[in-house]
Amino acid sequence: MSDIQNIEPKEVFYWFSKINQIPRCSGDEKRISDFLVSFAKERDLEVYQDEMYNVIIKKPGSKGYEDSDPIIIQGHMDMVCIKGKESNHDFTKDPIEMIVEEDILRANNTTLGGDDGIAVAYGLAILDSKDLKHPPLELLITTNEETGMDGAHALTNEHLSGKILLNIDSEEEGVFLVSCAGGANKITTFKLEKENKSGNGLEIKVSGLKGGHSGMEIIKQRANAIKLLGRILEECNRNSDIRLSKIQGGTKHNAIPSEARAVILTEDNPTLKKIIEDFTKDLKEEYRVEDSGLNIDINEVKVENIYTKELSDNLIDYIMMVPDGVQYMSKDIEGLVQTSLNNAIIEEKNNNITIITSVRSASSSSLKEVLNILTIIAKRTKAETEEKNSYPAWQFDEKSKIREIAVKVYEELFNKKAEVSAIHAGLECGLLKQILPNTDMISFGPNLYDVHTENEHLSISSVQRVWRFLIRLLEELK
């Protein structure tokens, strides 16, 4: 940790190191939330912690800025917790092990927590400073952003008075986000019905895929492990009488699944193995660019307690019929996805088989269309559905002043053009705009790569530049 703390800006990486010592997976934020409260109390700063463990810390304006309008600096304290197959990391108790490689800061085969720990680090560094010039500050750090924005859903405006909000949850330096997609999760449930039948079977495992964030990286057309597994199972089912015994894939609702597996009962293992091997060649050719690491393993296993024929067929049909990936591109912004969906998780749970599909769209009507399509497919395959974790889109504000100021400051500092854009992912700005309708908002951040994977890494020099930008921006907002 000492090596990390010696990186400039030291005040930022000091706090990033500190918070990465504290486990903070989504849903396990009490320890990091209490740490933030203690930080504030030790400095006699006004602090509020609600039942969801959201934290608001207030700091008066510096000399000459006392009467300026308050500025909200906002991020989230939770992180996506994913590790590589060889990692023994325990996210419930182990600190994140960080590694510096030239300009890159990464973790040891786990997610780094830069999303969105870097926002927390920036915020704490500013609150801890003695000599920075800034208006009155309200540091808002939310919980459970990665699993449904539960913290932001629970917020009220009771302790927030800022007229400008700086969301630091973007991943490309010099790109200022001014709009984002809304979305919802569709939960499809099949009643688990089994027969007491045993025999020889096959375990089919799809692995080696890149995965990634289901909003930011859906446009890259990477393979979805659940969909590939469904295609393999359908190929088997057309050529032989198979029964599913187990099926599982994906771990996070907002991550493209990189692995999936199924166990099937079949009376003709050699023939099916040949069919799968031949089909694997086709799939590898199909994804030779986007997912060259695709691997499909087939192992002979003993099978017990198989799914009923009806359930087995319905599951395979559902996975095959349900759409996946980009559905519509934006008609307003070139290269921006308007509507997409990600079949994120399939698992046995509470005597059911549950499939979670994350749907995103900047258009409420298009979002409704895709959700309705999923409902119809579920109905045809005798499954039940419900919608959870919906969140609104953040609409573009033509009159935004902070957008103009931020672009001007960035371009003057670094002598290069800034970009104003929108994002095909959910930011908390959509929810925050509902409780703070008159607050001008913008989102930015340093270069952060491969988020929501064990390859997540952060550009050190970009963290430095964004720190310089943030300091200058606060000075300008007098």
Task: Give the residue numbers annotated as catalytic, written as ranges.
Answer: 78, 145
Distance between CA atoms of residues 263 and 251, nearest Å:
18
Peptide bond into 28 cis (omega under 30): no
Cβ–Cβ under 8 Å, residues 451 and 159: no
Pair of tokens at residue 309: 């024929």
Q: Residue 220, Cα to own-chain centre: how many angstroms?
A: 16
Q: In terms of Cα–Cα distance, which of 362, 361, 218, 307 is closest to 373? A: 361
Q: Got the DSSP string for 19-86? A: HTTS--BTT--HHHHHHHHHHHHHTT-EEEE-TT--EEEEE---TT-TTSPPEEEEEE--B---B-TT
d(C-alpha 271, C-alpha 398), whole Å: 62
Name the 3-class secondary structure at 131.
coil
3-state SS string for 285-297: HHCCCCCCCCEEE
105-118 residues labelled b (16+ CB within 10 A) or e (exposed): bbbebbbbbbbbbb
Phi, psi (rounded to 5 degrees) for 385: -135, 155
